[in-house]
Structure 1
Amino acid sequence: MELNFRNDIKKWLDSTEKLDPIPTTFCPNLKTDSNEKIKAVIFDIYGTLLISSSGDIDQASLNTENMRTAMEAGGFDLSACKEDTCNFLLKQLQEQVKKQHQELKAQGHPYPDVDIFKVWQRMFEAAQNKGFFKLSGNESRADTIMVFELLSNRVYPMPGMKEVLLEIKKMGLPIGIVSNAQFYTPIIMNYFLTGEFSTKQHIEMFHEDLSVYSFNELRAKPDTALFDKFIPVLNSKYNIEPSETIFVGNDMLKDVYTASKAGLRTVLFAGDERSLRLRENDDRVKGLFPDFIINDLKQLLNILA
Structure 2
Amino acid sequence: MKYSAVLSFFKRPENKPGRDLCRVFSPLEFPKAILFDIYDTLVASTIGDLNAQLEKKRGTKSFVKTAKHYGFEEKLGQQWQKLFFRYIEEEHERCRKLGILRAEVLVDVIWRRILDETLPADRSIEIDEREIGLFREMCANPVALFDGVEDLFLFLKERNILIGIVSNAQYYTEVVLQWLLGRSLFDFVDRNLAIFSYKLGFAKPDPHFFRYAEVAVRLMGLAPKNVWVVGNDPINDMASSRPYGFATVLFAGKGSIEEVAGSDIDAIVGSFGNLLDLVKGLE
TM-score normalised by L of structure 2: 0.86
Offset, 1:257? 0.6
- SS state of the match for residue 8, structure 1? helix
* Residue number among 62, 67, 78 corresponding to 2:63 in the alignment: 67
Offset, 1:55? 4.3
Q: Give the unaligned 5+ runs of structure 1.
A: none
Letter paired with 2:275: L
Offset, 1:70? 2.1
Question: Structure 1 residues 96, 192: closer, same or farther in 2, change over 3 A?
Answer: same
What are the residue-to-residue correspondences of 1:126-275 with 2, within 5 Å? 126-128=117-119, 136=123, 138-193=126-181, 195=182, 203-237=186-220, 239-273=221-255
Letter paired with 2:42: L
- SS state of the match for residue 35, structure 2? strand
What are the residue-to-residue correspondences of 1:95-106 with 2, within 5 Å? 95-106=86-97
- SS state of the match for residue 268, structure 1? strand
Letter paired with 1:29: R
- SS state of the match for residue 260, structure 1? helix
Q: In the alignment, is residue 121 of structure 1 matched against residue 98 of structure 2? A: no
Structure-1 separation of matches of 2:169 and 2:67: 22
- SS state of the match for residue 238, structure 2? helix
Partner of 1:20: 16
Structure-2 separation of matches of 1:243 and 1:135: 57
Structure-1 separation of matches of 2:175 and 2:64: 22
Offset, 1:40? 1.1
Structure-2 separation of matches of 1:156 and 1:294: 18
- Cα RMSD (Å): 2.8
Letter paired with 1:101: H
Q: In the alignment, is residue 40 of structure 1 matched against residue 2 of structure 2? A: no
Structure-2 separation of matches of 1:18 and 1:57: 23
| CA displacement 1:245-268 (0-9 Å, x = unmatched) | 110000000000111122101000
Are 1:47 and 1:56, in contact at CA under 8 Å, matched by a contact in 2?
Answer: no
| CA displacement 1:160-204 (0-9 Å, x = unmatched) | 1111111111111111111000001111111222x25x7xxx643
Partner of 1:53: 46
Offset, 1:271? 1.2
Are 1:21 and 1:273, in contact at CA under 8 Å, matched by a contact in 2?
Answer: no
- SS state of the match for residue 169, structure 1? helix
Structure-1 separation of matches of 2:174 and 2:212: 19
What are the residue-to-residue correspondences of 1:283-294 with 2, within 5 Å? 288-294=263-269
Are 1:186 and 1:203, in contact at CA under 8 Å, matched by a contact in 2?
Answer: no
Are 1:209 and 1:230, in contact at CA under 8 Å, matched by a contact in 2?
Answer: no
Structure-2 separation of matches of 1:286 and 1:166: 30
**Paired-residue identity, %:** 24
TM-score normalised by L of structure 1: 0.80
Question: Structure 1 residues 287, 139: closer, same or farther in 2, change over 3 A?
Answer: same
